[in-house]
Every structure is written in C-alpha cells, then in structure tokens.
Structure 1
C-alpha cells in the first residue's frame, strides 16, 4: 500500500537505541546453562541430542523469496532494497525442545534461510551469504526480556522429565482457554505458547515477535499465508488423537498437490513508548502501524520431508538470529539473549552429535 508519511514519523535506528541492564550477560549465561541442562535431560531419555527449541520438524522446504517491485522508500531496506529473487530454505517445527506427540499442542516456528545475500553481516557471520529469519506464532513473545525468560525456562526445565500425558493435559487446558479468549476477541501469548490451535502449520502466521533493525529504521517482521489453498485451511483443525505426527503428515500431503505462497511483511516502529524495543511481550498496535508487504515467499510442490533433506535440515543446519545482515540486527533484551543462546546451543548440539556445523553457501548444497 502507498505510504505518504513524512520520514520523521518513523523511529530512526541509532546505536544507542537499546538499554542494556547491569547483569544481563550473567542472565544470558544462566539461560544457556538452563537450556543445556534441559537438552541433557532429553538426550538421556531419548538417546539423542535435539534442538533445545523447535526440535520436531513438520516441513522441510525449498523455494524462493521474491522482493516486491516499487516499494515505498521506508520499506526498501537491506535485502528488500531492490526487486529481485533469492533462493530460500524453510524449516517448520513445533515449539518444544523435545520430540512429542502432536496431541501436545504448542506454539510453532518457521525458520527461513535466504541465500545469495550480499552486504555487511553481524560479527561471527562475516563472509557468509545467508540471512536467517527465526519466527514463531504470535505477534509478541510471552516474556518481555531476558530476566523473565530465564524464570520461564526454569519452569520448563523442571517439567521436561514429566510424562507426556501430563504435558498433553496442560496443553489441552491452555488450548481451550485460549479458544475461549479468541471467541470474545482477545488472545493470550502465554496460552498460545502452550496450547496452540490444532491447525495446519501452513495456515499460521509467523512473527519475529521482537524488534530488529530495519536498515535506517526499526521494525518487526511477519510471514502470512496468502495463497487460496492456505487461506482455506486457517479455521480448520487436524485430528491429532490418532496420529502422533499429524501436522507433519498434513504438510507432506499438502505439498504433493499444491504450491504455497506467503507474504513477508514488516511493521515499522513509530513510537518507542507504544512499540518498545526492550519489551518483546508488547504487541505493537497495527492500527498505528500495520504490517506492510515487502516480498513473497514461494514454495512449489515438492517432497516436503525426504530422508536426505531431513538429515540436512534437522541435523546439519543451524538457523540463528545471528546469521544476519548488520542492517537487520536483532534488537532488545530478548534478542540479545537469542544472539548468544542460539549459537551456544547449536555448538552444544553439534558437538554432542559429533557433527560439524555447516552453513551452506548455495541452495544447491541442500538435497532435493
């Protein structure tokens, strides 16, 4: 849509936009230690080390990101600065850091790795030509900063060893409560986190949840299903009582028959009080700044879960917020925690599994 706001209406990125609290590094160290212990508990039980979050994949896909033509100037930032297409790999997954039956319904994630991206990268990613966007369901995160996230994952760590039946009961209760809120036009990030609807993962919208630098500006990013076959599934539920892998099987079945098209949109920050950078639990008001399209994510018909692809996507690859252009640097307390935590946990997982971390240079490096 056209955007005629004056440039002064947008919050400009500056290096002192963030506020780092005393002790934050200690908090992040504690987050890494807690999530590592959680992974160790899962590994002892299941005999393998999996991702500390989003362990169970439901779709492993290849496609392209096509930047829209004639974007208004505020939206032309980073890899969206000019019309062109980029190869992309997409991993869909359930939220927990353990592989559970789909009857335990939790939030979902979409990780996108975009290839052939030129430009200055964040420290540790220099020389690479990829940009990762690590997204999840819900426009905000249940916890606002690193301290509150540490408290939350402490509770998750204590629950990791509980029987799956207990987790199923908790998620069922949360799902029903969240459905009741939605029926009256409300929502809960925490209930959505632990009791997501039993929809097809392809029918969900996915969000950065926390802020990122957007070139000269500040934004959040979202990915929304737009092709008719996807939109038609938004209000449909999937029976997870008889199939523990119902979501994965639904994604596989979809891509046997259909292409999928999503829209990548950004929400520009206009006011740091109503759209804070340091509190990721705040939903930025869309009546003040709607999500605006900048690109399409196109996923053609394909085998969405081949064995060779699973080895690459689930074992060898790492999707990290730190795999980014400097122009898209994640912002705020929660994102600063993610920058370090994702890297540390990826190194731990690959080390325990006796694998090298591989950052592919080309989409052709990934199997079809």
Structure 2
C-alpha cells in the first residue's frame, strides 16, 4: 500500500465515544487498584505499583528521530529530527512480586526527556513523554468494564500462594502451546501461560490507541540490532533464579549494546457508520489487534542503549520509588484515546499519590538522565 493511496484516520475528539456511566467504573477501578497497593504494602511493609510492580531492568539511552519523515509519520514527538534521552523500565504485569517463572505479560515503559510542545492538561510544566507498553498488539480487555474485571481478579488472587500461581502458569503454558500448534491461540492463556522466552527479544506496543498528531496510531518498540533479534523467541530457564529476567538483562548489557526500532501503526479511515465491533481499527474496543496487512508498522525512530549496569540497587530504587510512568504523561499531540486509556488516568494518579505517601518519597519527572544513578 503506497502512501499516495493510503487514507489514514484523521484525529478528531469525536472519535471517542465515552459510555455515560464510565466515571463510575473509573472510580471503582481506582479503588480496586488502591486495595491491591494497600494489601501489598501491608504484606511487604512497603508500597509498590498495583500493576507492573516488579521491575527487571532500568536502562538509559537515546531516541533518535530521523530527518525527512513523510507527513503522516512526522507528527508529535516525531515531527522534528533530533535526539532525546530516554529511560527504560522493564517489568511484568502483576501487583505482587512473584518469581519470574510465574508467566505474565511483560512490560516496557519508556520515558522520553527534553520534549518540547504543548502538554496534556495533567502534565503541564513537564518536558517528558511516556510510552507504556506490553509485549502484545492489543489489550487483554475490550473496555473499562472488562479492565475492571481483570483488576478485580488480580485483587482476588493476591492471597493465592506463589506455588499455586506457578503451577497454573506452567499448565497454561503447555495448553497454550497445544492451541497454537492447531492455530487456536487463547488470549486468556497468553496472559498467564506466555512462553518462557528472553525478554529482550520481545516487541512491545501501547496496545491501545493514542493521538498521533493529525492522525491516530499505536506506538511500539521492536528489536532492530542483531544482538536483540537473535533473542526473539529464544527459550530461557526462568526457574534458574527468582529474578531470572533481571539476570538476563544484566548479563546482556555488561558487554553489549542494543537498538530498537520505534514504530507506529496508523489507523486507516473506515466507514463512520460501522459499529466499533465491525471496525478493523476501533478506538473504543482495545482488545482488537489492528491488521498489519492493511496498515503495517512503520519506523519513525531508533532507540539505542549502550553497555551499562542495568540494575544497581541505587538505580532500581530511584526509578521504582521516585518515578512514575503513565500514558497521560506527554504531549497533547499524543493524547491517549479510548476507554482503556481514559480509565488509566485517575487510577494511575491515585496509585502514585499513595505510593509517595506510604513510602515517604517525592515522585517527580526527571529533567536529565544524569539523575539516574549508575
């Protein structure tokens, strides 16, 4: 599909179709996340994030935007060529600190620094842009109600022993392998039975859409350097160590560098009369993976991380205790879109406030990667 024949979806506030009672769901979602955080704070005598509590690596690097991107790609952060410092945090999904052999979706949060331009209302006065990603191309729930049910499930299973969770994830991993062999992968099992592969070989995306300047897109990060590509799909022994993923990242960056492609998948214009359930590129149905054969991922930048110590105690404490990541930290040109994204605004902000209060920490946006300990 050539640029000249592609009709990308123009951004308009009218694209979002908020349910009339969704604020009630947002309130309950925030309360449930607070309960997870408070429960874990009581258990660990310390407050952690209600989701993606366990980090595995903290890295600093540079994101480079090339010159002469075509107009549909030259939007927002990517409208102007240049280089931006970045901070990366690798994590897994749950709000409790499980052994890494308990399968779970993996996360990558990227904080871009020195970002100029109009910010979202809750981010005025800051110069950062966050991209909060998981290793998937669609969210695990379609809407805020489904998201709430998932968070409630996390909450209900906090008391389940780690041994039981490990046994369930191993069983799910085997079942999902069988389903994939007959081309019937299960989205549910993917969440608890993901294969034990190297985290640095994964591709990550925002899974839910956001504004991309004049258009709408999902943003992602995919292995670009051969050092990362050869890790894609590589089986690893996650039972070797409680913090096996941390160890994998540490071993890699002791001697090597890595490059990721920064990519966008632009939504295509569709018949506005179509229901969300019938669209290929829905805004309010986040569990739909947009078809890559119709709108492939396109590279808009490169993110480079050089050899470094990825998980010193000081570095881990700084990023986990004094920083936060949210889709709502960023440019107005990258406004999060859809119910899943709207649901995160209050929940994430309230969780951040509780962590700061419980741990007696000040959580703020960094001005320079020099603030990140070695």
Q: Hey, what's the Cα distance between the residues in 1 that align with 2:140 and 2:83?
A: 34
From the superposition, tell whether residues 279 and 164 of structure 1 become closer, same or farther in structure 2 (CA, over 3 Å).
same
Task: For residues 331-351 of structure 1, give each alpha carbon's deviation from its aligned partner in whole angstroms, at most 9, with x where no partner exists.
Answer: 000000012211111111111
Q: Hey, what's the Cα distance between the residues in 2 that align with 1:35 and 1:257?
A: 39
TM norm structure 1: 0.96
* Contact kept? 1:109, 1:137, Cα under 8 Å: yes
- C-alpha displacement of 1:29: 0.4
* Contact kept? 1:238, 1:247, Cα under 8 Å: no
Q: Give runs of aligned pairs for residues 307-346 of structure 1, distance below 5 A.
A: 307-346=313-352
**Equivalent position of 1:13 in the other structure:** 11
Task: For residues 118-164 of structure 1, give each alpha carbon's deviation from its aligned partner in whole angstroms, at most 9, with x where no partner exists.
Answer: 00000121111100000011110110110111112212211111100
From the superposition, tell whether residues 334 and 302 of structure 1 become closer, same or farther in structure 2 (CA, over 3 Å).
same
Of 360, 365, 373, which aligns to 1:367? Answer: 373
* Contact kept? 2:137, 2:205, Cα under 8 Å: yes
- C-alpha displacement of 1:235: 2.2
* Contact kept? 2:136, 2:207, Cα under 8 Å: yes
Of 230, 237, 240, which aligns to 1:239? Answer: 237
Instruction: Note the residue ranges of structure 2 that are not aligned, 5 or more in a row.
Output: 271-278
Instruction: Note the residue ranges of structure 1 that are not aligned, 5 or more in a row.
Output: none
Pick which of 345-354 and 110-119 moved more.
345-354
- C-alpha displacement of 1:242: 3.0
Q: Hey, what's the Cα distance between the residues in 2 that align with 1:84 and 1:98?
A: 39
TM norm structure 2: 0.95
**Equivalent position of 2:131 in the other structure:** 133
**Equivalent position of 1:110 in the other structure:** 108
**Equivalent position of 1:352 in the other structure:** 358
Q: Give runs of aligned pairs for residues 232-271 of structure 1, distance below 5 A.
A: 232-271=230-269
**Equivalent position of 2:143 in the other structure:** 145
**Equivalent position of 1:304 in the other structure:** 310
* Contact kept? 1:321, 1:342, Cα under 8 Å: no
SS in 2 for 1:5: helix
- C-alpha displacement of 1:186: 4.7
**Equivalent position of 2:275 in the other structure:** none
- C-alpha displacement of 1:3: 4.3
